[in-house]
A and B are shown apart, each in its own frame.
Chain A
Amino acid sequence: MASMASEGLTVTQRDQLMVEQEVGKIYTHFSELPPSSKSILLELQRDEHLEYLTRGLGILPPSFASLDANRPWLCYWILHSIALLDEYIEPEMEDAVVDFLSLCQDPGGGYGGGPGQMPHLATTYAAVNSLITLGGSRSLSSIDRGSLYMFFMKMKQPNGGYRMHDGGEVDVRACYTAISVASSLNLLDDELVQDVGSFILSCQTYEGGIAGEPGSEAHGGYTFCGLATMILIDEVDRLDLPRLVDWLVFRQGVECGFQGRTNKLVDGCYSFWQGGTLTLLESLHQLFHGNGLSDSSQSDASELSGDEAHATHDHSCSGHGLENTTSSINLRDTSYNFIQGRRKGGPLFDSLALQQYILLCSQLWDGGLRDKPGKNRDFYHTCYCLSGLSASQYSTSKDFDSVPLPQAVLGPYSNLTEPVHPLHNVLLSKYHDARDHFAIH
């Protein structure tokens, strides 16, 4: 039957059909269950996930050699997931992680994928986010911010982008990792953001989403990185926001989860990259208030006046948003101001449907979360499925940390995860602690 149906179908259609059938089976089975069983299936398997995650901090099997240059990522994926579950690790383990990450820190600034490896922006992001997640003075003081700033400046490119590492690739992800870390550590300044906005703008495609490099295809991961960065550097006005929203909402498909690109397959990790981006957009007044760029002709106009504003602004303020006087002080507050703001509107997507995909299709009963049925669990997907779950659960809350109503949480209310700072993807409480720490140190 399946083979008859697949005659005359393209590769895309065939692949999509197979996934729809797998997911359809799960949802059909679920719908036929009595309410009490449904409740059980929708439970977040906290204990099992915690067990899987905690074991990951110890010894990993030889197959993990492929992640030997990504060990700070393993720390972040695991620690952030544990934090989302409102759980803890032993203090000795916390100290051990801090010490290990210190060994990954390069004397010249930045963190590598393991002890002795070259510093790399992505592993720096993972390390810093891990240390922020651990929190506390010992952890936060271990970050050498002075040399880190130098590392950022070395990686900064004339076209506004950043190189991932010495001699490495330049893309939107590199911009995000650098800017996000600089912002979290109170290091963001005019030098670091110079021309970044122009580079990211050149990566917004005809589809509305954002690509890794100018000309490439609109993609969920890069879209999150691009939008988050534009917000952090206060240049979000320059993007065609309505077009971005339009592209994003169409990335949620019949499976209820999100796909990364048009006509590609659903994947649990896009619960955060795409779903999380939508929650960011819900907080932008540009989309919800009055003359808020309700069509693209208006956004063209504001972009035009933005360029004019750049021309008349004093040199030290170049590259920043229309309405601010722009100075280093403003840049240091963009992240904080963002989460102090209230949700402006939305939700723009189907939050309960997304939670349904995460809980019924991504979650494994023996712990961990995955891309889609048929794939294996891994720490990356566990992290981003849970992050997406959090973003989704809080997506109708007025403030970023206000407790969601029961109807916003799919399954038992005990499924509620901890709220994150949507620009950095660390727990909100941890972000605040770090901000307080770096304000005085």
Chain B
Amino acid sequence: MELSDGERRGDPEGERLTLPLTSRPEWSDVTPLPQDDGPRPVVAIAYKDDFREAMDYFRAVYRSDERSPRSLSLTTLVLSLNPANYTVWEFRRRVLESLGSELLCELDFTEQVAKGNAKNYQLWHHRRWVAEKLGSEAVSRELDFTRKIFLIDAKNYHAWSHRQWVLQNLGGWEYELDYCAQLLDEDVFNNSAWNQRYFVITRSPFLGGLKAMRDSEVDYAIEAIKKSPENESPWRYLRGLYKDDVESWVHDPRVASVCLSILKEQRDLLFSLSTVLDLLCHGFKPSKELADSINALRTSDPEKPDSNMEMARSICSILGSHDPMRANYWAWRKGKLLQA
């Protein structure tokens, strides 16, 4: 008797799993359903045989809505071939529910899929569904999983959304601010980490909310600004801390102070000047020192501005030439000053 390849390899079991579905006895009662692309297909993909076959069997069980263990393993197979097939993911969820399957394995499964492509919408949505079913027992695992993803790509959008969902719905806030600090320590330009920080200080039940956290966060942002004044993230974060409280924004001396020190050190003009501009637009009264620093940057019009409006217009002109990519924007800002 001839040995099969699998038997020769000593792996008859493995061979059985790689047999085409049509050759497997457990599928013999199912008629595979070919895709109906019509008589003249367009954007037609030249599927490989194993792909085509797996999909034909999937269509059959999907059509008959068969919620069985073999359907489940079929979805595993199909998703290994195309993890972006949302219909298969959704059917898989239905099968899992009908079978009352244990869901911890789903976490392993999605981790495997993530290794192939961590930016796949469907895998993250599935993970969220599983985590919701598991409840708070899933917290540490989800936080660990997203942390692992961030080791490879600290800005993975889906992973961040997932992490936020976990925190909001299942908890785990205790060390989140520390985690943000750690990430920012590694890369102070990581805007996703800044965004997460804002998320934590505004929503964590362990912290007092934005107003309570604002003071220390202003110091934190300013420290980051001083280290890398060309980094847009902490400037935006700083402004964001005062999102709904313009009065406090204008009156916090630390804001004007950091602008002044950056300007004096000539380390960056763009964000320090645009911040001063923003302050002026909200009624801020600059100190003589700040006004002088700005005047020193003007290249035309020897007359010193004697009003906030004129200083603001000055800044728009300076930025127009210093930041030519945004010349149109600064011109628009300048024009609006006249309307205010």
Instruction: Tell me, yes or no, whether A binds B.
Output: yes
Residues of A within 8 A of B (CB): 10-13, 56-62, 64-71, 74-75, 78, 92-93, 95-97, 99-100, 103, 112-118, 120, 164-169, 205-208, 212-213, 215-219, 245, 247, 249-250, 252-254, 256, 261-264, 290-292, 294-297, 300, 345-350, 353
Interface string of B116-130 (1 = CB under 8 A from A): 000001001100110
Q: What residues of chain B lie closer than 8 Å to A213, measured between beta carbons?
A: 161, 164-165
Selected contact of A297 from candidates B42, B81, B246, B339, CB within 8 Å: B246
Cβ of B81 to closest chain A Cβ, rounded Å: 7
Q: What residues of chain A lie closer than 8 Å to B195, measured between beta carbons?
A: 205, 207, 216-218
Q: What residues of chain B lie closer than 8 Å to A71, measured between beta carbons?
A: 43, 45
Most buried by A among B281, B332, B337: B332
Q: Report the count of interface residues on B (CB-CB < 8 A).
A: 77
> Is B86 a contact partner of A113 (Cβ separation < 8 A)?
yes
> Is B48 a contact partner of A65 (Cβ separation < 8 A)?
yes
> Is B329 a contact partner of A349 (Cβ separation < 8 A)?
yes
The distance in angstroms between the C-alpha atoms of A112 and B62, with both chains bound, is 14
The distance in angstroms between the C-alpha atoms of A247 and B232, with both chains bound, is 10
Residues of B within 8 A of A (CB): 33, 35-48, 51, 55, 59, 62-63, 81-87, 90, 93, 121, 124-125, 128-129, 154-155, 157, 160-161, 164-165, 168, 186-192, 195, 198-199, 203, 231-233, 236-237, 239-241, 243-244, 246, 281-282, 324-329, 332, 336-337, 339-340
> Is B155 a contact partner of A261 (Cβ separation < 8 A)?
yes
> Is B59 a contact partner of A10 (Cβ separation < 8 A)?
no
Selected contact of B36 from candidates A13, A62, A116, CB within 8 Å: A116
> Is B164 a contact partner of A216 (Cβ separation < 8 A)?
yes
Q: Beyond the given A75-B42, A96-B41, A97-B42, please list 17 additional residue pairs across the A-B interface where CB-CB is below 8 A.
A: A11-B154, A60-B46, A62-B48, A99-B38, A100-B43, A103-B37, A112-B87, A113-B85, A117-B86, A206-B239, A212-B157, A216-B160, A261-B155, A263-B190, A294-B337, A296-B246, A350-B326
Q: What residues of chain A lie closer than 8 Å to B324, measured between beta carbons?
A: 350
> Is B339 a contact partner of A206 (Cβ separation < 8 A)?
no
Q: What residues of chain B lie closer than 8 Å to A297, measured between beta carbons?
A: 246, 282
Q: In terms of DSSP, what is the predominant structure of the interface of chain A?
A: loop
> Is B332 a contact partner of A263 (Cβ separation < 8 A)?
no
The distance in angstroms between the C-alpha atoms of A273 and B298, with both chains bound, is 35
> Is A264 a contact partner of B191 (Cβ separation < 8 A)?
yes
> Is B328 a contact partner of A348 (Cβ separation < 8 A)?
yes
Selected contact of B43 from candidates A75, A245, A294, CB within 8 Å: A75
Selected contact of A262 from candidates B33, B55, B232, B239, CB within 8 Å: B232
> Is B243 a contact partner of A60 (Cβ separation < 8 A)?
no
Selected contact of B157 from candidates A164, A205, A216, A353, CB within 8 Å: A216
> Is B236 a contact partner of A207 (Cβ separation < 8 A)?
yes
The distance in angstroms between the C-alpha atoms of A230 and B195, with both chains bound, is 23
> Known: A56-B43, A116-B59, A219-B157. Contact between A250 and B86, CB under 8 A?
no
> Is B48 a contact partner of A115 (Cβ separation < 8 A)?
no
Q: List 26 A-B contacts (CB under 8 A).
A: A10-B187, A10-B188, A11-B154, A65-B48, A66-B84, A69-B85, A100-B37, A100-B42, A113-B87, A116-B33, A167-B129, A212-B157, A215-B164, A217-B157, A252-B325, A261-B155, A262-B191, A262-B236, A294-B337, A300-B244, A300-B246, A345-B332, A348-B329, A349-B329, A350-B327, A353-B325
